[in-house]
Amino acid sequence: MTVLLYVLGVLFVALGVGLSIGLHEIGHLVPAKKFGVKVTQYMVGFGPTVWSRRRGETEYGIKWIPLGGYIRMIGMFPPRPGDAPGTLRVSSTGRFSQLADEARQLSLEEIKPGDEDRVFYKLPVWKKVVVMLGGPMMNLLIAVVLLTGIVTLYGVATPKDGASVAAVSQCVVPASEATAKKTCAASDPQTPALKAGFKPGDLIVSINGEPVNRTSDVSRLVRPRIDQATPVVVERDGSRTTLSVTPIKNSVQQVSADGQPVVDASGKPVTVDAGFIGISSQTPIAFEPQPVTAVPAIVGEQLKATAGVILRIPQKMAGVAQAAFGEGERDPNGPVSVVGVGRMAGEAASGDISWIGGPNGINPIVFLLSLLVSLNMALFVFNLVPLLPLDGGHVAGALWEGLKRSVARLLKRPDPGHVDVAKALPVAYAVSSVLIVMSVLLIYADVVKPVNLGG
């Protein structure tokens, strides 16, 4: 059953990724056709074609590698100034110039008789912007619709009074060894909490008859009771149960009056001998539905967080490389590939992540939908980067063309013509190479050192 749920989780997200890519390209396709541009291909994926069907002048299809998609519009690159329509000079020298000329030639070869006014480069600036922003805006729309449903129907995580069990330690380990020791040996004694039957997600109601109102109450009430049988009332699956646990003497990290861990000047934990049962506690949360009016602010926060990750891509990728080829851990808020997203989906659906499911955890389906929200937010923000081959690069080219023409009109100079986006192709190839390297690194890291969301 666990394997089946894992596979279903992966398939759910895989379908969501495919739909997100397909709708992104529809965001380009619909305005392009509306403005009269001839679109010869609409493809989801890259590489060899799995399936295709021609409808009118457009071939629709699916390709093997589901890492993106594209639509092919004729006339993406204008001829060079001075060239006769349909011709191309062949005297270019230098590799970069040749690349630009080859791209123009391919673009011109797609233009058939009668298509001369159906080329992309002849569109007014605002129409070019609409066509190229259509894809990212579709991703934003998907994210907003899904997020609105989650926020208004399921709710937003809201902290509550009390404390819940975050994790139950399997064996007794002194505080000085807790970070170094990853697994328990057969000879290690079990923790009192494990023997007593504590489980992650248990809501701690009271300890020795005293109510627990915050996480700091747990250590305050447990630590003085060395070798004393202590009744602990927990709420589990909607009903209350009394567990009997006997704290043992152990070296634990000292906490301040407000429950914060105490460290010395060098940053090392300050330890004391006190009662220990072997649980870590956390503030319980409840998911409270929000009004629609709260959605814009939540969307803004999500966009800000996503933009922050993308702006720190070099730093984040350095961390991914260190984790993949070293001993470091992956940043749970860092970038992941589609392999990583699929893995998270499978683990969430199969119950391998402790804080997903259960009375105090997020619903697995909501978590999977949240993954799709994050994915579409990332596609929206990333595609706005003003570099080819990203959509933002074409938008930047169109806006530059509009600016040049506006300045020429103000200064009563001749129309400077269309901006030659082909000249930026070396940048496009460089960016594409970087993206390929990043994708390979992320996929490798997601296989050998996946993001740990908590077992």
Catalytic residue list = 25
Distance CA 226, CA 228 (A): 5
Distance set, CA 194 to CA 118, 165, 168, 174, 200 (Å): 71, 12, 7, 16, 11
- Beta-carbon-side half-sphere exposure of residue 345 (alpha carbons within 13 Å): 27
Distance CA 222, CA 229 (A): 10
Contact indicator for 6, 347 with CB cutoff of 8 Å: yes
What element of type H or E holds 65?
A: strand 58-73
Distance CA 381, CA 368 (A): 20
Q: Work out the number of other CB atoms within 10 angstroms of the CB of residue 47.
A: 11
Distance CA 365, CA 371 (A): 10
Distance CA 373, CA 215 (A): 31
Distance CA 385, CA 381 (A): 7
| Phi, psi (rounded to 5 degrees) for 374 | -60, -40
Tokens representing 449? 């050192």
Contact indicator for 196, 245 with CB cutoff of 8 Å: yes
List of residues 6+ apart from 260 with CB closer than 8 A? none
